[in-house]
Structure 1
Amino acid sequence: MRPPLSNLQTPVLLPRTSLNPALRSSRSRKTSIFQPPWPRALSSRLQAGLTGLLCAGPSPPFDLGTETIMKHTQVLFTFIALLAALNARAEVSLPNIFGNHMVLQRGVPLRFWGTADEGEKISLKFGSRSFSTTADGSGAWAIELPALKADGGKSHKITIKGSNTIILEDVLIGDVWIGSGQSNMEWSLNQSERRDEFIEGANHPGIRLFHIPKKQFDRPQADVPNKWKTCSSANIRHFSAVLYHFGKTIHADQKVPVGLINSSWGGSPIEPWTVTESGSGKMYNGMIAPIVDFRVAGTIWYQGETNVIQNNGLAYTGKMKDLIEGWRRVFNNENMPFYFVQIAPWNNGRYADGQLPALWEAQCATLKLPHTGMAVTTDIVHNLGDIHPSNKHDVGDRLARWALAKHYGRKGVTYSGPLYKAMKVSGSKIHLAFAHASSGLKSRDGKALSEFKIAGAAGNFVPAKAKIEGKHVVVSADSITAPTQVRFAWHRAAQPNLCNREGLPASPFQTENWTGGTGE
């Protein structure tokens, strides 16, 4: 994992108006280098005057001398440059998120925006439909399109005209998803398990890729320097593995084009990605702000390791709340799906004792926010000494299960492993109830259930026997006759074997003043 970006942990405080995309567009408007700094009415009069000066009278019938001719030639070239400046216009432009091979989000009104010359008329043609607008006093323009339906992956052409013409080709209509976070989201297919197999099979004409380069700014930006690409073996190699596997599953199930936008940075804490009413972080400014008006279906998120190292623990609950609510506000979608990965166990001293379990609880608590989901990964870590588990395909698939069940409404999809719900003390035993266990529970490896501990009022935990009884787990220990609480997989190297019948793993938990949710 890359070192934490400690200098980016505190969001930069900005005036609220600085978060306005329209203001960002006007401030960053691209103008010609010859654009005159005086009003256009004055430009016309000056142009006429200069033209008259250049054309006044016949040439003198005598030799002016070489030096005089050179001086007049320089003046002439200066006047010609001024005339060019007076006639120059700012070309119609679009941010780079609009381009050939892009996917437009289906089912919601769309917004195209860009810059042009002040007062310039802009037209947009999409198929048989035409739309128009006029650039405002700062040169900013925007055109709203009604919601579009997916049409089986049909390729479209979009033409935008002003003083110049922009043609966007091979445009698809489907679903667009953002993948963000730190290194485990950034981790490429080329670095991941079964890379050759997955890269070779990554030719999907209906999946499109957009990778946002790493940029940090004090203020929200209007554009990002990249372009859309088709999903192919050549283009996928260095793209986010988790996001690709997620998108591939959605594409296969929904039979619609899928656009994937990767915006991640290894080693980053959560704070630089956050935008609140009072300010925004540098990574948000450079890597999210430029696309907030580009409609998307939702977001997947894989981050938290750096915040464990920073000993944020349970405080991560509030940080996730700020992140999710902030993104939903700027994307103008209060119900935007936000599915995240519960970070993997890592047996390294950089994680202080108790900090990883505390952050796990914070991630479970985030499930209390609507339209969220969490993929548990304790069972797919092959090397506890590696903070970057190489199995990224199961991570992407588990995130996709949440999306299919919750966002797409697919019936019969098991989207989570068991999540702790309630406990009941019965004599010397504690009975545990779980969400997402309606089909029953089992041991993943067929062995006795592992990683359970039990304690009495004194809080001294001892290893416990755990037995599945229907949809419950019953926990006890011979030395604890009056139990009060249970812990499950509550340490940084935990790899428990409890799962549901579908094989999805149970999340770590503790029962004392538990704050976690279940995402039901």
Structure 2
Amino acid sequence: MGIILNSNRPKIRLPRIISDGMVLQRNTDVKIWGWASPGEAVTVRFIGKAYHAFADDSGEWFVRLEQAKAGGPYDMYIETEESLEKITIKNILMGDVWLCSGQSNMEMKMDSVKDTYPDEIVHSCNDYIRHFLVPVKYDFEKPQTDLEAGIWEAANPESILDFTATGYFFALKLFEKYNIPIGLINASLGGSPAEAWLSENALREFPEHYESAKQLSNRDYLDKVLREDQESAEAWYTALNQNDEGLKSNDIPFHDTEYDAPFWQNIKVPSYWEDEGVGNFNGVVWFRKEIDIPSTLADKPARLVLGNIVDEDTAYINGIEVGTTPNQYITRKYSIQEGLLKEGKNTIVLRVVNTAGKGGFYKDKPYQLEIGDNIIELSGEWQYMIGAKSSPMPAPAFVQWRPLGLYNGMIAPVTSYSIKGFIWYQGESNTKNPGEYENLLKALIADWRQKWNMGNLPFLYVQLPNFMEASEIPMESSWAELREAQRRTLSVPCTGMAVAIDLGEWNDIHPVNKKDVGFRLALAAMKTAYRDKTIVAYGPMYQSGKIDGNRIILSFTDTGSGLTVKNGDRPEAFAIAGADRTFVRADAEIIGDSVAVWSEKVSHPVYVKYAWADNPADANLYNLEGLPASPFTTE
């Protein structure tokens, strides 16, 4: 963004999001705003027209651009009359802008799934798909008026690594369908609950969350919480490191090439050490494995892939540190420099720190050494030695996730920026109290629509995927309850939900299949935002149930070309109960666009559940378009 300034006068200033490469919302009035000297006359020139404004007493000014069709690139010129300042904003596109928000599964970058989508990354050059990453910031005192950083970037094999993966595939599908520019504003943060994204007025509906936010609005109290949080964590790590036998200063470190490990015992990797009889404790456990490298692979660059480790690890090869990761949610992929791997015996040592709960290695993840196209499998027998035992680390305050903070810091600064709608992937952090989620999500939708003041902006969201141990029988499940809250939120006008019950991974809260998630959100957009009546956007959605003797006949919307099953001869994952609500696994069959459900154990059925578990093993009801039915309960 080129700026010519008169240093004798206050500088005209624009918000970060109004900058080179931006995508402006087509077919609507667009607000352009900024700050200048009070009373300063400001002129904005764009697509052959001029717009005039005066800065108010606080220095803020704005104009509204006339509606424009998709197209570009264009330049915009902003100048002041008295101070003769001029700003040129270059390479602007008119298209559709979507705010992408939620927690880690929306935040998850293409870089995290680059091994899954190498071709998509290579062929990602597209100047008409652009991304703006909102920096993480929380504030409990007042809504922020601007962002601290951020630039618009067009998709290419380098920049795309920082794009939200879900958002990118959503944009790609829309671009392929409509051939118009798509802008993504990514304001998301891993671990964040819904209440962190609500404004102060919206939070008043939730007294407990509102009180938490008001408490943190006291700067002295907030500083005290942050200080105590840091001090307790530092004290825990200091004690742990001092007690770690593998780091004792008067001994050879466990990762050193001179260290011999004659008394280390064997353990299976991947596993949790509590499950392998090592003990139920937190702290440090060291792991060691020797591998043979043939002469043909020696001295070559390589990659050490270690799945997911709970909670932290530092990896060494032949005494040299090759990588460290601070939490369990990131797959370990460590680059090994040329010359480090030698012909013959090589030693891999891992220092694993577990802060709470079980410690060790996720199962069903890759653990291997990759040398070119050659893979050396690392799963199997390792050696271990306990470095230090500890009590669990004091639970962090997680101030960044507390109510209100993220709205004030990340959403408020962009509410004046015209958009097409919202895509939302969040809910995992609210499974601790799923009973309030429906009200939270409905409040958030209403809150954001009111703040943007653009009517019922489309709000599209992802239903939680399958996660944790698979279950073939119905079970009490906070994840199922939250999915039901999400399904019921479809009663809000102009909303859409991408069902992901078949896209999760049992052992990872961050499934890598973001392509299908993004594409399903795009289908929802085509129907809800673009009003394409030819699109089958969803899988079967429960509509109503009718008791017929010892059976319940379920009716569905969104059956598309018809109901079908995937993997099996008839629908599975159904449960049925009488008035006592004691659910048992049920038989089911498809009858046209309905499903009949029954069980010999329930002679007078009243209720039905479908796919009611954290990870229902056999949820196989689909429509012929290949979209899965949403989990539901008729209760």
TM-score, normalising length: structure 2: 0.64
Higher strand proportion: 2
Alignment correspondent of 1:345? 466
1:394 CA displacement: 0.3
Against the structure 1 CA distance between its residues 278 and 456, is the aligned structure 2 distance closer, same or farther, given a 3 Å change threshold? Answer: closer
Alignment correspondent of 1:91? 11
Whether the 8 Å CA contact 2:563–2:624 is kept in 1: the answer is yes
Distance in 2 (CA, whole Å) between partners of 1:460 and 1:323 is 34
Alignment correspondent of 1:173? 94
Whether the 8 Å CA contact 1:124–1:159 is kept in 2: the answer is yes
Whether the 8 Å CA contact 2:422–2:459 is kept in 1: the answer is yes
Q: CA offsets per residue over residues 96-125 of structure 1, 9 Å max, x none?
A: 111111111011111111111122111111
1:447 CA displacement: 3.5
Are 1:227 and 2:151 counterparts?
Answer: yes
Distance in 2 (CA, whole Å) between partners of 1:425 and 1:476 is 10
Alignment correspondent of 2:78? 160
Are 1:184 and 2:305 counterparts?
Answer: no
Are 1:195 and 2:117 counterparts?
Answer: yes
Are 1:306 and 2:230 counterparts?
Answer: no
Determine which of 506, 515, 519 is the counterpart of 2:629: 506
Distance in 2 (CA, whole Å) between partners of 1:427 and 1:111 is 61
- Correspondence 1:250-399 to 2 at 5 A: 250-277=174-201, 281-308=404-431, 310=432, 312-347=433-468, 353-381=476-504, 383-399=505-521
Distance in 2 (CA, whole Å) between partners of 1:345 and 1:438 is 23
Specify the structure having the higher radius of gyration (Cα): 1
Which blocks of at least 5 consecutive residues in structure 1 are unaligned?
1-31, 33-83, 513-520
Distance in 2 (CA, whole Å) between partners of 1:242 and 1:189 is 8
Q: How many residues align?
A: 421
Are 1:111 and 2:31 counterparts?
Answer: yes
1:272 CA displacement: 0.9
1:304 CA displacement: 0.4
Amino acid at match of 1:368: S
Identity of aligned residues (%): 39
Give the secondary-structure state (helix, strand or coil) at the position aligned to 1:449. Answer: coil
- Correspondence 1:414-433 to 2 at 5 A: 414-433=536-555
Are 1:454 and 2:576 counterparts?
Answer: yes
Are 1:497 and 2:620 counterparts?
Answer: yes
Give the secondary-structure state (helix, strand or coil) at the position aligned to 2:440. Answer: helix
Determine which of 138, 143, 168 is the counterpart of 2:58: 138
Structure 1 stretches of 4+ moved >4 Å: none
Which blocks of at least 5 consecutive residues in structure 2 are unaligned?
204-402
Whether the 8 Å CA contact 1:276–1:322 is kept in 2: the answer is no
User: CA-atom RMSD, angstroms?
Assistant: 1.8
Whether the 8 Å CA contact 2:536–2:625 is kept in 1: the answer is yes
Are 1:211 and 2:133 counterparts?
Answer: yes
Distance in 2 (CA, whole Å) between partners of 1:246 and 1:129 is 33
Alignment correspondent of 1:475? 597
Determine which of 48, 70, 76 is the counterpart of 1:150: 70
1:278 CA displacement: 5.9
Alignment correspondent of 1:46? none
Amino acid at match of 1:182: Q
Whether the 8 Å CA contact 1:182–1:264 is kept in 2: the answer is yes
1:438 CA displacement: 4.5
Whether the 8 Å CA contact 2:202–2:443 is kept in 1: the answer is no
Are 1:408 and 2:332 counterparts?
Answer: no
Amino acid at match of 2:539: G
Determine which of 29, 40, 60 is the counterpart of 1:120: 40
Distance in 2 (CA, whole Å) between partners of 1:267 and 1:278 is 21
Distance in 1 (CA, whole Å) between partners of 2:484 and 2:77 is 50
Higher helix proportion: 1
1:199 CA displacement: 1.2
Give the secondary-structure state (helix, strand or coil) at the position aligned to 1:346. Answer: coil
Against the structure 1 CA distance between its residues 435 and 314, is the aligned structure 2 distance closer, same or farther, given a 3 Å change threshold? Answer: farther
1:134 CA displacement: 1.6
Give the secondary-structure state (helix, strand or coil) at the position aligned to 1:425. Answer: strand
Alignment correspondent of 2:266? none
Whether the 8 Å CA contact 2:466–2:503 is kept in 1: the answer is no
Q: CA offsets per residue over residues 267-324 of structure 1, 9 Å max, x none?
A: 000001012536671101111100101100000000000000x2x2131010001100
Between 1:441-450 and 1:285-294, the stretch displaced more is 441-450
Between 1:258-267 and 1:273-282, the stretch displaced more is 273-282
Q: CA offsets per residue over residues 215-269 of structure 1, 9 Å max, x none?
A: 1112111111111111111101121100000011111111111111111000000
Give the secondary-structure state (helix, strand or coil) at the position aligned to 2:172. Answer: helix
Give the secondary-structure state (helix, strand or coil) at the position aligned to 1:167. Answer: strand
Against the structure 1 CA distance between its residues 420 and 278, is the aligned structure 2 distance closer, same or farther, given a 3 Å change threshold? Answer: closer
TM-score, normalising length: structure 1: 0.78
Whether the 8 Å CA contact 1:122–1:132 is kept in 2: the answer is yes
